[in-house]
Amino acid sequence: MLLLQPQKKYFKRGDLAEQEKKEYEAKHNIKRIEEQPSTSTQEPDHPNTIAVDEDKLPMNISRQEVIRRLRDRTEPIRLFGESDYEAFQRLRKLEIMAPDINKGLRNDFKAAMDELEQDNIDELIKQETGESDAQKINLKVVEDNTSLESLRKMAAKLGKGDENHDCDVILKTMQFLLRCWAKELNEMPPEKKKTVQWKTQSAIRRQTEAYLAPLCSKLKKRTVSQDILEYLAGIIGHVLNRDYVQASAVYLQMAIGNAPWPIGVTMVGIHARTGREKIFSQQIAHVLNDETQRKFIQGLKRIMTVCQRLYPTDPSKSLEYNAVKPI
């Protein structure tokens, strides 16, 4: 064998494969055509320059911009064996076929923080230009001369069958607690209003107000469903009586319900029992219905916590008494 030279005791497997290939071509009279190097795409001399064919569009954006746009679309920034220009072509194809990017769920907390930050910037600009005499940034509060004692008197007839009265008491109580929350934030010292904690609490308060807006609109129009109105009346009644443990129990029953998750058989017997629909309505987990209900249920829990902090009661009637601390 020609591969095994006198001065060598071994040979490479690649050399053996190449020798066998040549013997096979000679045996079958096969002529090998040498491959010509392609002149269309060559390695660039500079890392920022890319040589392309004349029939292809030039890469008119940087590699960093291509990476950013691909990551915005949750696409890989480079496939196996892909060049920078091929990644650019893939990005162009994605932008042509799907111009709209799915941003996913909206971050309401970040939006509230951004809105609050913009309001602070606008207020500071007014102070510098002399358009505002205020020396500190406050949250807007609209007074209506409502007190906790007046709400407690109105709550004496809560849940007695008068739905219009129940809607009025629930609406006024939620608005009253939101005003109290805003006043608490406004009364903080000016040096604390520059901290991240104050901005976070202000953004949470504004987000809570936005979450409760659909519920307040339904209460004004008297379009709240009967089962939710019963739960809200129970929660507000216990909150005004400063019995936060019972209010939390009613809240949990409204939010997650007490029905077991059905697996397999969901109905026993052929005929449904009398009043079965009414029994089932008390076991619905309303937080699972839609996103709007989930938001106002979350906002309701926040104002319950604020009420417990502003109007404390006995530890036996408080929920997580040691965990509720002032700002």
Residue spans of the domains in the chain: they are 63-97, 141-261+276-317
CA of 111: how far to CAs of 94, 114, 208, 276, 298, in Å? 28, 5, 12, 44, 17
- The class that CATH gives domain 141-261+276-317 is mainly alpha
Q: Which tokens in the block code for residue 172? A: 């006024």
Domains 63-97 and 141-261+276-317 share a fold: no
pTM over 0.75: no
Q: Which tokens in the block code for residue 130? A: 């002399």
CATH fold of the domain at 63-97: MYOD Basic-Helix-Loop-Helix Domain, subunit B (4.10.280)
Judging by beta carbons within 10 Å of its beta carbon (0-12, 13-18, 19+), is residue 256 exposed, middle or buried?
middle
CA–CA separation, 76 vs 213, rounded Å? Answer: 41
CA–CA separation, 228 vs 226, rounded Å? Answer: 6
Neighbours of 27 (CB within 10 A): 8
pLDDT (tens, 9 = 90+) of the chain, 327 residues, equals 566 666 777 778 888 888 888 888 888 777 766 655 554 444 444 444 444 444 566 777 888 889 988 988 888 999 988 888 899 989 988 888 876 665 555 667 777 777 776 676 666 556 555 544 444 467 777 777 778 888 888 888 887 888 888 899 999 999 999 999 988 888 888 888 878 888 888 888 888 888 899 899 989 998 888 888 888 999 999 999 999 999 999 888 888 776 555 444 455 555 555 555 544 555 566 666 677 888 888 899 999 999 999 888 888 888 775 555 555
Contact between 319 and 244 under an 8 Å Cβ cutoff? The reply is: yes
